[in-house]
Structure 1
Amino acid sequence: MKVLTFSTLFPSSVRPSHGIFVETRLRELLKSGQVESRVVAPVPWFPSGNARWGEYAKFAATPAREQRHGLDVLHPRYLLVPKVGMTSAPLTLALGARGAVRQLLDEGFDFDLIDAHYYYPDGVAAALLARWFGKPLTITARGTDLNLIPQYALPRGMIDWAARRAAGSIGVCSALMDVLRGRGHDPARLHVMRNGVDLERFRPLPQAAMRAELGVDGEPLLLSVGHLIERKGHHVAIEAVAELVRTRPGARLVIIGEGEERAALTSLAARRGVTAQVHLTGSLPNTELLKWYSAADLLLLCSSREGWANVLLESMACGTPVVATDIWGTPEVVAAPEAGRLVAERTGAAFASGIEALLAAGTDRAATRRYAEGFSWQATTEAQLRLMREVAAAGVPEVQHA
């Protein structure tokens, strides 16, 4: 089969960690030898690659076309208009990508279907492209695209429009497909295909050796990983450590990630008197993450929303159990005592209690690793292949009616 992978969430030489979960699933699929793919990963147009523009400069510096791990990736530009971009993005995204899709067809890559990732704006734009080029479509939902964005009326209507045109909608957890099911979409077109974890990339390393190499200590040593935004809840992790040090003065928290909340988090740690106990590393590559996961005693995920959080499985694959908010797809990941604990309230006190309960019960790093080994990519790859064969054989489906 020939598959066109479409998403703005895809790595580039300039942003190698951006959307790496989409690339990982595709690379696992390609290992089957039954699929050939080209990738169209649009980036917003920006006029200058001057470093003073920060992340925006990376848009301008992204190559128009590149090879990544043997994958041919095109990065067409699209216009993302400030303030009104949320509602106009699906159309400008589709228009910006149309030339790249036509180019692939002209080069002889007559794909059987479009496989889009992230429902809005990417999935809506892909639905437009599928209509223009007469191709069937699958769309994968990954989290905020269905658990947050549909709170806005116009995007919600466009998501419904795209879902009625998709031959298959895929959720990385059941909770996401429940959203579409609740909005009246055909259950026969809704599929759950969880993310797996790379068990070779993320593996247990000797904890004491990793602590020595990284120059950290802590009893317990806690980790919080993700973009420094409110939704990820790093502030809750800081509050938890402030509670924890009352009975465990050796507790330490390492926050890995970068983002707009950095100054606010630093200020919060100072106000709570835990500046010495909290360390922010900035963003780190997977090769370094592996060491931190292995060094830590526990991973904290204090998110308000998650589809299927990859950091949970990455941590568990390194033998480190987790304490996480009991929301959306997370209970599907943390489903056994050896995986960790779920916390009902998103507060520092509740997380501190969850940490204490897990430590009191004792942790078994080998058991946590064995649990993670049940989440290989094989089942997801086989499910994708079955669905793609069906979609390609059936051609463009009839549009569902609301």
Structure 2
Amino acid sequence: MLNVLTLSSLFPDATRPNFGIFVERQTAALAQRPGVSVRVVAPIGLPVWPLARAARFRAQAALPVAETWHGLSVARPRFVTLPGTGGRFHVAALVRALCPLLDRLWEEQRFDVIDASFFFPDGPAAVALGRRYGVPVSIKARGADIHHWGRAPATRHQVARAAARADGLLAVSDAMADDVAALGVARQRVRVHHTGVDQAIFQPIDRSAAKQALGIRGPLVVSLGALIPRKGHHVVIDAVARLPGVELLIVGEGPERDALAAQVARLGMGERVQLVGGIPHQALPPLLGAANVMALASASEGLANAWVESLACGTPIVITPAGGAGDVVTSRTAGRITAPEAEAFADAIRDVLEQAPDPWTVRAAVRDFTWAANAAALHSHLAGLVARRQAAGQASSG
């Protein structure tokens, strides 16, 4: 039996059901593998008073410290974050909070490996905890954990040190693996580990009927992602403004909502653009299946789940050359990779609309992106780390 401790500060809870849902799916698929036992530790960072009194932090503070979440045993310890410090003290605070909990878990059932599914602060904390318990550690790079924390002055040295000291490294795409290597580790140490998608749920549907259900008659573009500058929704709005008759649904929530709404009003596009807000993950397939194009003008990505889910629904994508774009847009049927500029996006969207590729042919671009394949690769990776640690221990004792 392989006993895995999954450590992830990016994990859904009752206050944020879509937050890190891909980590939940990956972990659940791993737990279903024969011979694997998984326990999840999903720490929640809470700021010091008085910021902790904000509604969203109060809701998170009220979450259970342990629960069964969609069949997974999940512990949710709290750790203190200090606003204004750039995350410099996140790792130390996280380790302090985790040691008592992991000591108890260790007494109940020793774990063989720690799987940190986000690079910061999880990765550096996992390395420290791996040394405490004498077990190997794997860290996965997903995007912002490297592009932000791995470059920020207060945290970049902690990220680089964790990369150097981890027993195994994973990345969601080839480009992300290159970014991890740029921290100062050998590229061959970083294994590409693609995300998965539930292909029984995300699949092509009757596009005309799906549009009718939404009250949309003409071409439809969906832009899916958090409403933050990095996702580039403002570029897509400007692009659609250049495409008469095309409608746009922006799906997501975030601090840029008011600015995007003002942009829509300024352009006089209120009848063609809707800010849908956040929706449950299970409500995405009919929306993506209705769209003719999913467009996302990201400034940076690892390998966006929105890309894979859209393609699985048979909807081609128009995206920037960010992160693992080339891992999924492997043909013109799958979509276009273009510059994050309104005119370029408009041209690419128009091109895809004119091409109107067959949805099932589009879907073929991500036929290998399954949770079963994801879990099998993760199982092999983690078991290999444990085997190497055991072999090294036997060699040193011999």
Once the 2 structures are TM-superposed, how far is the Cα of residue 28 of structure 1 from its aligned partner?
1.6
Q: Does the alignment pair 1:392 with 2:391?
A: no
Q: Does the alignment pair 1:356 with 2:356?
A: no
> What does the per-residue CA deviation read over 1:20-61, in whole Å, with 9 as the maximum and x for residues that have no partner?
11111111222222210100001023689x999342233112
Output the CA distance in 2 between the equivalents of 1:175 and 1:396.
32
Return the match for 2:248 from 250, 253, 278: 253
Output the CA distance in 1 between the equivalents of 2:174 and 2:272.
37
Output the CA distance in 2 between the equivalents of 1:22 and 1:182.
24
Deviating more after overlay: 71-80 vs 28-37: 28-37
* TM-score (norm: length of structure 1): 0.92
Residue in structure 1 matched with residue 329 of structure 2 by the alignment = 334
Task: Provide the secondary structure at the position in 1 that maps to 2:13.
Answer: coil
Q: For 1:35-184, what aligned pairs fall within 5 Å after superposition?
A: 35-45=36-46, 53-106=54-107, 108-184=108-184
Output the CA distance in 1 between the equivalents of 2:29 and 2:221.
31
Which letter does structure 2 place at the counterpart of 1:380? N
Output the CA distance in 2 between the equivalents of 1:206 and 1:360.
19
Output the CA distance in 2 between the equivalents of 1:39 and 1:203.
29
Once the 2 structures are TM-superposed, how far is the Cα of residue 381 of structure 1 from its aligned partner?
2.4
Which letter does structure 1 place at the counterpart of 2:308? L
Once the 2 structures are TM-superposed, how far is the Cα of residue 232 of structure 1 from its aligned partner?
0.7
Q: Is the 8 A contact 1:14 1:61 kept in 2?
A: no
> What does the per-residue CA deviation read over 1:232-252, in whole Å, with 9 as the maximum and x for residues that have no partner?
11111111111112xxxx211
Q: Does the alignment pair 1:210 with 2:197?
A: no
Task: Provide the secondary structure at the position in 2 that maps to 1:153.
Answer: coil
> What does the per-residue CA deviation read over 1:336-372, in whole Å, with 9 as the maximum and x for residues that have no partner?
22211111x2111110010111122232112112333
Q: Does the alignment pair 1:241 with 2:240?
A: yes
Residue in structure 1 matched with residue 359 of structure 2 by the alignment = 365
Residue in structure 2 matched with residue 277 of structure 1 by the alignment = 272
Alpha-carbon spacing, 1:116–1:51, altered in 2? closer, same or farther (3 Å): closer
Alpha-carbon spacing, 1:172–1:396, altered in 2? closer, same or farther (3 Å): farther
Alpha-carbon spacing, 1:179–1:83, altered in 2? closer, same or farther (3 Å): same
Output the CA distance in 2 between the equivalents of 1:51 and 1:190.
38
User: What percent of counterpart residues are identical?
Assistant: 37
Alpha-carbon spacing, 1:388–1:85, altered in 2? closer, same or farther (3 Å): same
> What does the per-residue CA deviation read over 1:102-137, in whole Å, with 9 as the maximum and x for residues that have no partner?
12112x220001000111111111112112222210
Task: Provide the secondary structure at the position in 1 that maps to 2:38.
Answer: strand
CA RMSD of aligned residues (A): 2.2
Task: Provide the secondary structure at the position in 2 that maps to 1:280.
Answer: strand
Residue in structure 1 matched with residue 395 of structure 2 by the alignment = none
Residue in structure 1 matched with residue 262 of structure 2 by the alignment = 267
* TM-score (norm: length of structure 2): 0.93
Alpha-carbon spacing, 1:118–1:396, altered in 2? closer, same or farther (3 Å): farther
Which letter does structure 2 place at the counterpart of 1:127? V
Output the CA distance in 1 between the equivalents of 2:353 and 2:321.
19
Q: Runs in 1 of length 4+ with deviation above 6 angstroms?
A: none
Q: Is the 8 A contact 1:167 1:189 kept in 2?
A: no
Alpha-carbon spacing, 1:58–1:218, altered in 2? closer, same or farther (3 Å): farther
Task: Provide the secondary structure at the position in 2 that maps to 1:390.
Answer: helix
Residue in structure 1 matched with residue 303 of structure 2 by the alignment = 308
Output the CA distance in 2 between the equivalents of 1:154 and 1:396.
35
Output the CA distance in 1 between the equivalents of 2:34 and 2:246.
48
What are structure 1's unaligned runs of at least 5 residues? none
What are structure 2's unaligned runs of at least 5 residues? 393-398
Residue in structure 2 matched with residue 321 of structure 1 by the alignment = 316
Q: Is the 8 A contact 1:135 1:396 kept in 2?
A: no
> What does the per-residue CA deviation read over 1:200-228, in whole Å, with 9 as the maximum and x for residues that have no partner?
121222222222323x3142111011110
Q: Is the 8 A contact 1:136 1:396 kept in 2?
A: no
Output the CA distance in 2 between the equivalents of 1:51 and 1:135.
35
Which letter does structure 2 place at the counterpart of 1:167? D
Once the 2 structures are TM-superposed, how far is the Cα of residue 13 of structure 1 from its aligned partner?
2.7
Output the CA distance in 2 between the equivalents of 1:62 and 1:243.
46
Task: Provide the secondary structure at the position in 2 that maps to 1:45.
Answer: strand
Q: Does the alignment pair 1:382 with 2:383?
A: no
Task: Provide the secondary structure at the position in 1 that maps to 2:67.
Answer: strand
Residue in structure 1 matched with residue 396 of structure 2 by the alignment = none
Q: Is the 8 A contact 1:94 1:128 kept in 2?
A: yes
Task: Provide the secondary structure at the position in 1 that maps to 2:6.
Answer: strand
Deviating more after overlay: 56-65 vs 36-45: 56-65
Q: Is the 8 A contact 2:160 2:184 kept in 1?
A: no
Output the CA distance in 2 between the equivalents of 1:309 and 1:231.
12
Residue in structure 1 matched with residue 22 of structure 2 by the alignment = 21
Output the CA distance in 2 between the equivalents of 1:51 and 1:251.
43
